[in-house]
Structure 1
Amino acid sequence: MTKTIHLKDMAKADISANKTDGSGGLHRMSYRDVAMHKVMLQDIIRTEAYEKSINAVVKPQHTVLDFGCGSAVLSMFAARAGAAKVIAVDRSPFIKNAQNIALANGFKNIDFYHDDHETLRLDEKVDVIVSEWMGHCLFYEAMLEPLLTVRDRFLAEGGVMIPAQLSLHVGLVNDEDVLEDLHFLQDKPYDLDFSPIAHVPFQQSDLVALDAESLLDSIADMGSLNMHTITKSDRPRVFTATLSPSEKTSIYALCGWFSAQLSPGIQFGTGPKDIPTHWDQILFPLPTPFTVNPSRSLTITLSPLTEQVGKEQFWSWSISDGEHTVSVNELQLQHEASVDVPQGKL
């Protein structure tokens, strides 16, 4: 289950979810590890929603493709729902464990393929593609483009995608505990000067699990992805929204998350106000506090700059009230900070 950090109840709280003792450590685990799959299977909100959606969509004549099948739990749901055939695909060697799990449960109509979106070869189209492809704030795991490749290659005309639609949301963080956490290196911890790197936390996204009280009530709906119609892109996607802040205050960061509509009437969210899942939110800090006022409309942009599989995730984000703009581009900052350090004594 997600480890929620209650900032209001903690002094000098570390709001980072980058831990290895809970869901925040998912990005550090490997899909070869049972620990990763155990955490996801323990996410009842996610897993039961997928089961309900599969039961609602899959018909006895259907062939179902489970892309990125992991433990094969969604494949087994599809087989149990009566699918004529299930195709389970994963690029991780863990797929052999998934096959053994399926056999241990008596499922013999699931074919397993140790492949990715480029190497997979099928002689047929499928009626349903199901995939739990979403990373934190949707794009953390860079699985969208591979999934769209599989959809374009193998989904039959009129076929169904699960999830059907994903939506991206951004909130305004005005919690001073968040600011205090960002300031940690600037406050000379242990009576030491960390000034060469103290500015970095203000320009670097981070995984967090925030309480609803850490954000203003006003939420920016950044846009939605219709998984049946969205096309592949060679350029970073840019999401933009406007909103009026609910009160006059200073904000210290943006917070991003997603919601998923798996099929009609079946959905879940991953934001601070939602029932916790194994997904965290992503904190997008602002280098300086930004004053917001209900009388001034805000424009917010958010862009995942690297969606390629196997590449480190970078983002850009900005907020503007028409007079003042604050923006951060992690990829640009990374390039500027890159230094070749020779081996040996410096």
Structure 2
Amino acid sequence: MRIEYHRTLIADHARNDAFFRALKAVIEPGKTIVADIGAGTGLLGLMASKLGAKEVFLFETAEVAGVATEVLMANKAKSCHLIPCHSTEFDDKLTVDVIVSETLGNYALEENIIATMSDARARFLKRKGHIIPQAIVQFVAPVISPRIDDELRVWSRVGNGIDLSAAQYLTMNNAYVRQLATEELLDGGKSAVAWDSVDLTRDVRSKRKGEAEWRVSRSTRIYGFAVWWEATLQSGIVLSTAPSAPRTHWEQLYFPLSAPIDVKSRERIGVELRSRSSESAGTHLAWTAIHKNANGEVIAKQAHDLDKGYLP
């Protein structure tokens, strides 16, 4: 992994400030022991050290661990200990007061934060200890702007009588990282629905499923769905990737439709979302759009699956 990715993290002041405030809320100087999982260049671990943590254990497996070692030395962080393995592979005894992990992706769960935090909480965390983040809520809203849809339909505009519909099919079974404006969403995003809620303070499944539905007040064309998340780091400290939130290095996910859906006034548009994530198999996403009439009867469905978007 090139250093450029980590530069974007360091440049994300909204992210850094939220994690600093969360660490400050739970660290008791001279007493608190912290585990930083997925430490990267060591920023969060150093924050904990500067806030007075007694000891900080930083877990990092990527090549950037070498950079983190130099960073810790340059900052004379004698209380910080870099452990060059994934926390789930660490077999020695470790007991900490705080676990912090910024292993969040544009799709919140793509870096396996559920399994990672579950394992660390069970094996390392003291009773009444703290974890950062505590919870993640995922939101979804219909997209009413054709901007991204137009971009994705380039296959059908090649002309010269050439049929590239097979490639178009693959394109429409992919999810896209994009920055969306509130005006590109139904009701300006105000009617966004929380389709999934993850409590990281207890055992939850990495396999997620949820749904949402909207009754439109006027005829509207729906081009796809936008998904984003909010993470509660500690009480009152929330980090959000919503279009209306302060900009971060994360963006929203756009889930396209094979064909735009024209929804008349009082009709309903719904979506079912499913995901499963693991270290070995990666992240799998699927989404089904459901168009219903004013009486709630299904008019049509469109099913999409990320697995169908890969080249055979």
Q: Is TM more than 0.5 here? A: yes
CA distance in 2, matches of 1:163, 1:95: 22
Q: Alpha-carbon deviation of 1:246?
A: 5.5
Superposed CA RMSD in Å reads 2.1
Consecutive unaligned residues in structure 1, runs of 5 or more: 1-29, 339-346
Consecutive unaligned residues in structure 2, runs of 5 or more: none
Higher strand share: 2
Q: Alpha-carbon deviation of 1:268?
A: 2.2
**Identical residues among aligned pairs (%):** 25
Counterpart in the other structure of 2:306: 330
Counterpart in the other structure of 1:19: none
| 1:214-253 matched pairs, under 5 angstroms | 214-217=184-187, 218-233=191-206, 236-245=207-216, 247-253=218-224
Q: Alpha-carbon deviation of 1:214?
A: 1.2
TM-score, normalised with respect to structure 2 = 0.89
Q: What count of residue pairs does the alignment treat as equivalent?
A: 302
- One-letter identity of the residue aligned with 2:28: K
Counterpart in the other structure of 2:22: 53
Q: Alpha-carbon deviation of 1:290?
A: 1.8
Q: Alpha-carbon deviation of 1:231?
A: 2.4
Counterparts in 2 of 1:104 and 1:96: CA distance versus 1, 3 Å: same
Counterpart in the other structure of 1:9: none
Check if 1:34 corresponds to 2:3. yes
| 1:186-335 matched pairs, under 5 angstroms | 186-188=156-158, 193-217=163-187, 218-233=191-206, 236-245=207-216, 247-293=218-264, 295-305=266-276, 307-309=277-279, 311-320=281-290, 321=292, 322=296, 323=298, 324-331=300-307, 333=308
Contact 1:185 1:198 in 2 (8 A): yes
Q: Alpha-carbon deviation of 1:319?
A: 2.5
TM-score, normalised with respect to structure 1 = 0.81
Check if 1:126 corresponds to 2:96. yes
CA distance in 1, matches of 2:161, 2:242: 37
Q: Alpha-carbon deviation of 1:54?
A: 0.6
Q: Alpha-carbon deviation of 1:127?
A: 0.9
Deviations 1:36-81 (A, max 9, x none): 1111100111011111111111112111100001011100111111
CA distance in 1, matches of 2:175, 2:211: 18
Counterpart in the other structure of 1:13: none
- One-letter identity of the residue aligned with 1:131: S
Over 4 Å off, 4+ runs: 189-193
Q: Alpha-carbon deviation of 1:85?
A: 1.0
